[in-house]
Amino acid sequence: MARLQGKVAVVTGAGAGIGAAICRAFAAEGAAVVAVDIAPGPLEGLVADVTGAGGRIAGLVADVAEEATAEAAVARAVSEFGGLHVLVSNAVLDLPLAPLTTLSLADWRRTFAVNLDASFLLSKHAIPVMERGGGGSIVLVASQQARVARPGRPWYCAAKGALVQLAKAMAVDHADQNIRVNTLSPGPIETGRYLKNFATLEAARASHHTLLGRLGRADEIAGGAVFLASDESSFMTGSDLLIDGGYTAV
């Protein structure tokens, strides 16, 4: 299991859920990882777990909405591990489910700062370093809700839809630098972030809306991220890898 041997990755939203699963999978496949999260406790736990398993990982506690975070993450990848080959922009900020008429402008802008602007900032600073190293792979974590909508999530659907188009545009602009850009779109995944929207675990699991009759697991999404980061997806750019259990099939 060394599909990412010799690669260095930056992963945001790394402290829990899908981000943590991606970090663990990347490290298990041989990558060195700079893990970024705004919450120090979960990030420290992740770093301890990966290091204890023999992986190479460095934690960075920071807000991805700040440009300084993108600069620091890329610089850390270079200084600590010698370069940068993979970027996974996964951080997300949730709001309570509600129609847009109830949202403040400040909340709307904050969600876009984390859910969309961060991908711009990270990519802006990662691409020159990737180019100097011969190329790389950028993965923007979108959602099945880039394609379909659910009640009370206008800010989420808008940002995730924008990520899909952003990846396509970046793929066009940076193909001649040997930099591939794709989105990874999970369906409903059984993580703490998803479960908090429901009163009980049973209610959350019953809400899946998938053809497979269940919520997905974070490790199932991490497998897709490994594929997009690895040379196995070398002929794939400007695409959206949808792993949604059939949520959008009907």
Q: In this structure, is the dihedral angle defined by the CA atoms of residues 6, 33, 91 and 17, taken in order, positive or negative? A: positive
Q: Considering 81, 156, 194, 227, which one is annotated as catalytic?
A: 156
Q: Is 156 a catalytic residue?
A: yes
Around Cβ 63, how many Cβ atoms within 10 Å?
15
Residue with tokens 């850390």: 76
Active centre residues (catalytic): 156
